[in-house]
Amino acid sequence: MSCAIYSHKMCLSHQTGPAHPESPARLHAILSLLREAPFNEFPFVEAPEASEEWLRLVHDESYIEVIKESIPATGLTALEEDTMASPDSWRAALRAAGAACLAVDDVLAGKYRRAFCAARPPGHHAEADRACGFCVLNNAAIAARYAQSRKGIRRVAIVDFDVHHGNGTQALALKADDILYISSHQHPLYPGSGRREDNMEGCLLNLPMPEGSGSHEFRALYESEGFPALRRFNPELIILSAGFDAHFEDPLAGINLTEDDFAWITERIAEIADERCQGRIVSVLEGGYDIDALRSSVAAHLLALTA
């Protein structure tokens, strides 16, 4: 198989409370999928803990210390309004970031052409100095900066098709050199960022979609703007912020995509990766809160990564 799975059981131990949408059930559903054919043939790699040196490529040292000190000995605590933490949350977050960094190592070394990080908590809302939107560490951003600073990769593209805009990843792209962030997302919607007015050639491309948009609008935006921008950037590595909450069954938004749309965008980005960067893609799980839709969407995504 040309795609490996990166995960760790510790990511199941991040507890968020009984009514919270970002629950361990999300990862349980994906891991159950991986026990079935053909996914049980994918190489499975146990994610390490990311070092704090890697985290500091994106996050302020003071923020790292505050989060560590905020982890409760028992029960739950709120890191911010909707981002919860339990006793194992910091270790889970380190494994999620570590999964993305090890995947970068292995893909760049040619061990695998592509990787999918089945890990939580998600990351694209996390900013340099604050947790946000269920996210503690910005896994995709850390992986991008890790590839640049530790692996000698210059140009990294991050494509984010989560239904929510990745405000944390946008902030990184605006201050980093040679990182292109492309985001399709419902707008207006949490967190309120992601305006076209913020776009910068070769750095940031927001592709906002109004509520009720579906496959036609989604595909047209990427065909006319997203894919041409990705090709012009000529990346050496592509990182996907793979959120599946733009699915029509997802409870947190109002975009009407299907599994076929997630397969389509994955296949098209894989074609560009084959043209521009030796097929190298690292995909990092973000949102997706209807469990059945998440499971089927991840299945479509994985099959497209191996096509």
Nearest to 263 by CA among 303, 219, 294, 291: 303
Structural contact between residues 77 and 70, judged by C-beta atoms closer than 8 angstroms: yes
Structural contact between residues 76 and 13, judged by C-beta atoms closer than 8 angstroms: no
| Stated length of the chain | 307
Q: Which of 59, 125, 165, 247 is catalytic?
A: 125
β-strands 83-85, 77-80 pairing = antiparallel
* Helix pair angle (291-305, 24-33), 10° resolution: 50
The answer to whether residue 125 is catalytic is: yes
Nearest to 169 by CA among 188, 189, 193, 147: 193
d(CA 307, CA 205): 27
Cα–Cα separations (whole angstroms), residue 40 to 3, 12, 169, 194, 305 = 12, 19, 32, 37, 15
Structural contact between residues 158 and 141, judged by C-beta atoms closer than 8 angstroms: yes
Catalytic residues: 125
